[in-house]
Amino acid sequence: SQKIEQNSEALNIQEGKTATLTCNYTNYSPAYLQWYRQDPGRGPVFLLLIRENEKEKRKERLKVTFDTTLKQSLFHITASQPADSATYLCALGVGNTGKLIFGQGTTLQVKP
């Protein structure tokens, strides 16, 4: 069956450390993968997109990797800050209709 999984447990880290979030999938062949941030009571906000032919993408303190052999994406936040505390969602893009398949999200808590 098709599945997309993110760390179900919350991730707690100390300010200044690097946070690494994992997104694993099975039985999908995504053309691209996106990461979103969601704050309580708000809608998701787009962060980064990486395509199947790209290994790595960076944006300021954010870095995403995409390994289509391992069927895994890693999302890194370097020099983390308490303001980075939120739920992070990964989403697979399949086909060309713009449809996304979302993971259940991982909650990150950065402690001062």
- Footprint on this chain of other proteins (rule: CB under 8 A): 8, 31-32, 34, 41-46, 49, 51, 89, 91, 93, 95-100, 102-105
CB 86 within 8 A of CB 21: no
Q: CB 17 → other proteins: shortest distance, Å? A: 26
Cα separation, 78 vs 92, whole angstroms: 23
- Closest C-alpha among 23, 30, 32 to residue 50: 32
We find the least distance from the C-beta atom of residue 101 to other proteins, in angstroms, to be: 8
Nearer to other proteins, 69 or 97 (CB): 97
Nearest distance in Å: CB 14, other proteins: 27
Shorter beta-carbon distance to other proteins: residue 99 or 111: 99
Least distance in angstroms from the C-beta of 99 to other proteins: 6
**Dihedral angle at the C-alpha atoms of 81, 87, 93, 96, nearest 10 degrees?**
-100
Inter-residue contact 100 to 92 (CB < 8 Å): yes
Nearest to other proteins of 27, 97 (CB atom): 97
